[in-house]
Structure 1
Amino acid sequence: MFPTLFQLAAKSAAQGIHNDNIPIDFSSDTKSSNAVVRELLELDPKNIEKLKTHKNQLSRLRELDLRKCEIDGEGISNLKNFTLNSLDFGELHHLKAKFPVPIYYGRINIVSLLERALNAHSQEMIIHLGFSGMEEFQIGWEEKISKLLPSLQSIKIIHKVFSEPCGFSNLCISFPNLRTLDISSARCVSTLKGIQNIKSLQKLVMRNVRIEDSDGYKELSELKNLRVLVVSDEDNRNVNSRVRVIRSLLQAEVRMPSLEFLDCSMTSVEDHELKLFVEHHPSLKTVVAISTRCENSHISTINLLNCLTTHSTMKSLEYAISNDRDRLAESCIVFIGKKLNIIHNQLKDSEISEFLNTLCYVLKESKNDMVKAFAISCFSIASFFGTERFIELFWLETPGMVELIFKSWENFKCSAKRESVFSLVLTIFERMINFWKMGKILQDRLLQFIMEKTVELSCVYSGYIHRVTSILIEAHRFMSLDLYTTLFMDRKMVKGLFDFAHYLIKLDPQSYQRILELYVRYLYQASKEMLNYLVSNCQAVEKCYEQVMMISQLPTKEAQKNLAEMVLRLIWVIDTNGFRNPSDKSRALMFCSTLSILLAKNLIVNREDVNTKIKDFNDSWGQSSLLDCPKMSANVFKTILNSEHSTDQSIHFGFLLMHTYINVECFLESKELWNWMKTISEWYRNSRKATKNTRESTAAILDEMRMVEKQWWSQFLPVSEFF
């Protein structure tokens, strides 16, 4: 069940090449080339382009599966650089214009395409050819390809339409030396007449092929060498209308003396029919009967793959995964899920262990995201995974399982599928947290992983913010001192938590309050380097300013106090004196605006230190030219100047901000604000409590306001009327 070291090495090499971490500057042998290219195309079908740029290094490539690739005309021509003995194509519709069939619009000249793709050695050596697209070929393609590729022993033609007279029979006559034939999902096949011409046929795959007349199977008796027969009906989810192929074979009195393997999964077959078929075929060793009425059957003379026992279920799932039989795999996983959800108390420890190993195997080896989603749903939904028995049996393995589940989900190719399964991943995290609540001590490694990944994805899916918040809060409760220290030194973690808090303020103020409280605890332990990182790389000042501007909308004073605490932690790394560049000036301006608002709302305890910071800024403002900074909202200085809690320095700062609004635009477009500015300035100018600096600032503001008004009205009135 588990991959070999060679397979793991091939996957690792392919991943490195895909990520451009490993240059392909070496020549590999045939086995390695085949394995690495196979894994490379599985990672991303677009890696087919690497065959163009690295044809010399991969010159020993012999097997190429392009079923998931969209190869272009240049790519087809490039295949001549390889001597292939096995080639599978996917959809070829997009190449119809390059390889047209005269008169027959919509068909593709598959013979011309193969002549372009295969060099003389490949044409002579190739033994397997596969097509899995829906396109139709030109009439007579069978005979032409048989002459072009004389060594063919295996053909796979999925979704082929045998519409012309004797279409299937022509195929059999043209390729009498075939050993393997796959016509799965073939259309317009009413009989297998002609198949007796393929005397050497050893394997026949005809999944989802419906032959209504039992006489259509008769010629199978002539295939004395046939060892493998696959007749499953996986495309039909309606149990009552599934093909009754075993009954038809019995009615036609078909005997295949060499038959060793039969797959009749998802067909309509009764227990007595299957037993009779086995009696008629004494060479039979294995029968796959997944998702049939023989699920609970036992036939002592054969290896029957169904879900009767734990072992047979495991073997059935292994067969489905290794042969890319996704529907069969899903059926097996659903069965396992029911066992682990409903009757896990009746299962032995060894049986449960086999089921878990099998589910992990699916997550590692399946190439289909939907199949992996079924496996993840087992871990998420089955009640066994919430029991004490689970954690007692698999305490050591649990971190690895959770990491494997997350990695499998993270690698889903379809973003929509990834989002739909995210809820299941969160459920698994919640179950792990619940074990801590139950008093079970799990590894720090697991808790750290849950914290890191939850923070990493906290802002991705807005529909789950309540669950994400709860996971983070609960996980924090059970952290050891060592883990706590590790996490608050992790830049990615601290930044992610800060971003999540900022993300929440508009969506869910209550969750914002809870996360902010948690975040402040982190900041109490944060080093100066971490605080500098937040300011320089995470827009901490800018985001704090945005949050402060929304502070009146928060439900309680507690969130406001936490925000104030966070701002105060940053005070020691913000330079408000002697600006080096416009960016520093803008940041200092926002920071002082934030501090002044917090003072105005009486949320600052250490007012003296804050006042000093604002004074430094006020002095720097006076020493420098007009700041090339973004204009602060008028609500900032209105909040500051209207509050009885504002300090002399914050009031002075408020008037400095007001000064940026004294212009013709404000005079004309914001009359209410203009009049308020004039009124408040006059009040402070005449107030005995105001400092000298404040009175001077207000006097200057009033003078400039009069100049703006005078400049505007001078266009319409004589100058004398202003005096």
Structure 2
Amino acid sequence: MPPPTLFQLAAKSLAEEIHKEKIPLDFPLDTKSSNAVFRELLELNPRNIKKLRTHYHQLSSLRQLDSKKCDIYEEDVMNLRKFNLISLEIGNYYIKLPKEFQRIDIVSLLKRAVNSNSRKMMIHLGFSGKEEFISGWEEQISKLFPSLQSIKINHKVFNERCQFSNFCNWFPNLRVLDISWARGLSTLEGIKNLKNLQVLMIRNVVIRGTGGYKELSELKNLRHLDVSCESERYGSFDRMIIFECLLESEVRIENLEFLDCSMTFVKDHELRRFVKNHPKLKTVVAISTACARISIPAIDLLNFNSTHSISKSLKYALSNDRDELVKNCIDVIFRKLDINHEQLNDLEISKFLNALCYVLREAKCKSVKYLVIYCFARSNFFQTERFFTSYSLEILGIVELIFKSLKNVEYISVQLNAHPLILSFFYRIVNFLRFGRILQDGLLSLIMEKTVELSYANREHVFLKILTKASRFMSVDQYKSMCENTKVMKALFAIAHKLIKQNSPAYQQIIEIIVSYMNQASENTLKFLVTNCQAVEKCIDQILMLSELPTKDSQKHLLHFLMVFSSVMSDEQLRKCYGGETIIRLVGVINTVGLRNSFEKTRALMLFSTLYLLLTKNLTEHREFIKMKIKEVSKSWSQSNLLDYHKMSAKILNALITSKDSTDESICSFLIFVSAFIYCEGYETNGCWNFMETPSEIYFENFPIREVFETVRTWRSMHGSQFCIKQDGSKMNRWFNQF
């Protein structure tokens, strides 16, 4: 597929920014730019037609307007008079005017919509055949627009009152005629009067009369003939007889160069016979016909016979708004990449990839874009080693293009249907990962960010598999970068909050993913989560919800989060999050009397580390209640039979007490709490205990300091050679040397 020109890219980009209101349309555009940009604006949303009223001065140079997909109101009709147009298509399906004009006379409409300059200059005119045609309309329009060279009237009903031959008599200078979807035609009699006709479009038109096509032979200048069909809207019998009737009329078009017979029932021998009768024929479009797999010498045949032909067929269909043909081409590509990809060489694969990307960039039909995304998500080729090794550098561009194409889809339902497919494509990508095989940084970040964004789109929780596997096979640098990705972290907390409300088993997995990133999150990231994501409030809510469930494993993680967040929270944030009855409710989830296992010890330590901070800063009105609970925990701790000293490692002790803000008092307090083993693996994060510099009277009331000495002596006798102070080592070593 040839790349778009720089002008085309610029016009499309400018239209998108204007449509999103990111760039104000407050500057005049020249004629070429006005035509291109406004065409793109109407493709993005037909309602942009109103900009002709609101931005007349900026678009005053507009000369070509295709508004057939727009709802046209009376004010729009009158506003068109301000523009000097040479090409106009209006009201293909919707012309909304006051009730008395529900069946508007097309001549009256055009007289009101077009000024005198436009009438003189108009070269192309298109309108719906569904409107009212008064007697003699052909004569009036021919006089109204004396320079007309091209007319498009789709869905026109020809009958005794509106005869095709009469129409031809009034427009002898036509070079292009499109009467696709016309009904009531038994013959093309009269078309011989269009001596200058070069292009004839009679798509989905059946001429059943004997010799109905015969006069085509007299059109010496005819170069382009379209007799194709649309499968979904056209009867099988009509499709079957079109080419038969054309051959029965023994048509010989002397200078014919192009024929489109797509979706007709033309047979191999019939097409070869037609080609033989037209020696100047150069191109034949036979997409979705019985001739889809043949080749004809000296003819550029657009069908499904080769990779090159499929690509050309797709481009032709797309550039001519033939959505059904586009879908058929995509279906062929899908089947080849799904079943026959091993028989395709690298060049053929590349052509198909380029074709799919071309559709994503250029397609206007929402369902066409959906089919391309379906191809990436379901075709077997996109989960092969060959795809990930040979085309690894192209994957990021493909993913970016998918999301860019969906941005311009106005229909939410299409986006929602496409999102599960995108997650499936992501899973294929991360499923390729192995140790030593990682994704590009940009691709990994995009997949992670979009996966959490689309987490709602898949009930089978494929997003969890993506997040888990991507996290497992990240490089060290990628992992550090992900720990600072506030967009992902914010989304993970939101997902967890949603899953716990649904009582989903996936909740525990999300929490474990959050734990893996929180361990290396910077102070700035923690502050962002506290300030912008209500992370603390979400954790508190989830702790309370879990207290009502049989399984409470995640509570230790959540309590750890609270402890970590507390170290970066301002006094005002602490007061807001832990004010009122929140503290009492939180303490209520902890068993402060009779710690039965390491899990209960872990939860108690995590929660009461946060409570210490509130006492120290005098930020709670429940001081006596908290002190009472601390004493209960201390007593339960000292009575615990879980004296697993041999499991305590230097890493655990460092996590508890090695902090730049540690004091003798805070160290003693925590040594008391860890006089028996507590399972803290995974919580050795920097700075978690920085806030524990607190007056000794809070900690040591009723705390036997003898236990501290005994704890340190026992621990040093078993692990002294392994111990290494990592933070503020001189102060800590001096303190330990007292023992």
TM-score, length basis structure 1: 0.81
Structure in which a larger fraction of residues adopt helix: 1
Deviation of 1:70 after TM superposition, in Å, equals 1.6
- Structure 1 residue corresponding to 2:321, chosen from 320, 324, 329: 324
Deviation of 1:490 after TM superposition, in Å, equals 2.5
- In the alignment, which residue of structure 2 is the partner of 1:149? 145
Q: Is contact 1:28–1:60 with CA below 8 Å preserved after alignment?
A: yes
- In the alignment, which residue of structure 2 is the partner of 1:266? 263
Whole-Å separation in 2 of the counterparts to 1:341 and 1:150: 55
Deviates more, 1:129-138 or 1:535-544: 129-138
The 5-angstrom pairing of residues 411-450 of structure 1 reads 411-437=408-434, 440-450=437-447
Distance 1:539 1:297, change over 3 A: same
- In the alignment, which residue of structure 2 is the partner of 1:73? 74
- In the alignment, which residue of structure 2 is the partner of 1:708? none
Q: Deviations over 1:131-181 (max 9, x none)?
A: 247444444322221111111111111222334534333322222221111
Distance 1:644 1:194, change over 3 A: farther
- In the alignment, which residue of structure 2 is the partner of 1:498? 493
Deviation of 1:67 after TM superposition, in Å, equals 2.1
2:612 maps to a residue whose letter is T
- In the alignment, which residue of structure 1 is the partner of 2:202? 206
- In the alignment, which residue of structure 2 is the partner of 1:248? 245
Distance 1:561 1:619, change over 3 A: closer
Deviates more, 1:285-294 or 1:496-505: 496-505
Whole-Å separation in 2 of the counterparts to 1:544 and 1:260: 72
Q: Deviations over 1:376-400 (max 9, x none)?
A: 2222222111111112221221211
Whole-Å separation in 1 of the counterparts to 2:465 and 2:492: 13
Distance 1:196 1:143, change over 3 A: same
2:104 maps to a residue whose letter is I
Whole-Å separation in 2 of the counterparts to 1:542 and 1:611: 16
1:446 maps to a residue whose letter is L
Whole-Å separation in 2 of the counterparts to 1:444 and 1:31: 41
SS in 1 for 2:85: coil
TM-score, length basis structure 2: 0.79
SS in 2 for 1:65: strand
- In the alignment, which residue of structure 1 is the partner of 2:278? 281
Whole-Å separation in 1 of the counterparts to 2:135 and 2:537: 69
Distance 1:152 1:538, change over 3 A: same
- In the alignment, which residue of structure 2 is the partner of 1:257? 254
- In the alignment, which residue of structure 2 is the partner of 1:605? 605
- Structure 1 residue corresponding to 2:463, chosen from 461, 468, 472: 468
Whole-Å separation in 1 of the counterparts to 2:548 and 2:307: 58
Distance 1:589 1:270, change over 3 A: same
- In the alignment, which residue of structure 2 is the partner of 1:527? 522
Whole-Å separation in 2 of the counterparts to 1:594 and 1:480: 41
Q: Deviations over 1:590-625 (max 9, x none)?
A: 7535642443484232454233245468865389xx
Which structure has more relative contact order (CA 8 Å, sep 6+)? It is 2
- Structure 2 residue corresponding to 1:515, chosen from 500, 510, 515: 510
1:522 maps to a residue whose letter is Y
Whole-Å separation in 2 of the counterparts to 1:243 and 1:198: 28
Whole-Å separation in 2 of the counterparts to 1:537 and 1:562: 21
Distance 1:280 1:420, change over 3 A: same
Residue 395 (1) aligns with residue 392 (2): yes
- In the alignment, which residue of structure 1 is the partner of 2:621? 621
Whole-Å separation in 2 of the counterparts to 1:148 and 1:240: 40
Distance 1:555 1:284, change over 3 A: farther
Q: Is contact 1:192–1:216 with CA below 8 Å preserved after alignment?
A: yes
Contiguous gaps of at least 5 residues in structure 1? 101-105, 624-636, 649-690, 692-723
Deviates more, 1:534-543 or 1:467-476: 534-543
Q: Is contact 1:314–1:354 with CA below 8 Å preserved after alignment?
A: yes
Q: Is contact 2:152–2:177 with CA below 8 Å preserved after alignment?
A: yes
1:81 maps to a residue whose letter is K
Q: Deviations over 1:499-531 (max 9, x none)?
A: 111111123532111011111222222233332
1:588 maps to a residue whose letter is G
Distance 1:296 1:571, change over 3 A: same
Whole-Å separation in 2 of the counterparts to 1:607 and 1:544: 12
Deviation of 1:119 after TM superposition, in Å, equals 1.1
- In the alignment, which residue of structure 2 is the partner of 1:57? 58
Whole-Å separation in 2 of the counterparts to 1:443 and 1:239: 51
Distance 1:219 1:455, change over 3 A: same
Deviation of 1:368 after TM superposition, in Å, equals 1.2
The 5-angstrom pairing of residues 563-642 of structure 1 reads 563-575=558-570, 585=576, 588-589=579-580, 592-593=583-584, 595-600=586-591, 602=600, 603-606=603-606, 608-615=608-615, 620-621=620-621
Q: What RMSD in Å do the two structures reach over aligned CA positions?
A: 2.8
Deviation of 1:330 after TM superposition, in Å, equals 0.8
Whole-Å separation in 2 of the counterparts to 1:482 and 1:30: 51
Distance 1:160 1:508, change over 3 A: farther
SS in 2 for 1:295: coil
Deviates more, 1:602-611 or 1:368-377: 602-611
Distance 1:178 1:521, change over 3 A: same
SS in 2 for 1:216: coil
Distance 1:589 1:194, change over 3 A: farther
- In the alignment, which residue of structure 1 is the partner of 2:185? 189
Contiguous gaps of at least 5 residues in structure 2? 593-599, 637-700, 702-739
The 5-angstrom pairing of residues 220-369 of structure 1 reads 220-236=216-232, 240-241=236-237, 242-369=239-366
Whole-Å separation in 2 of the counterparts to 1:313 and 1:237: 24
Deviates more, 1:360-369 or 1:487-496: 487-496
SS in 2 for 1:229: strand
Distance 1:8 1:554, change over 3 A: farther
2:57 maps to a residue whose letter is N
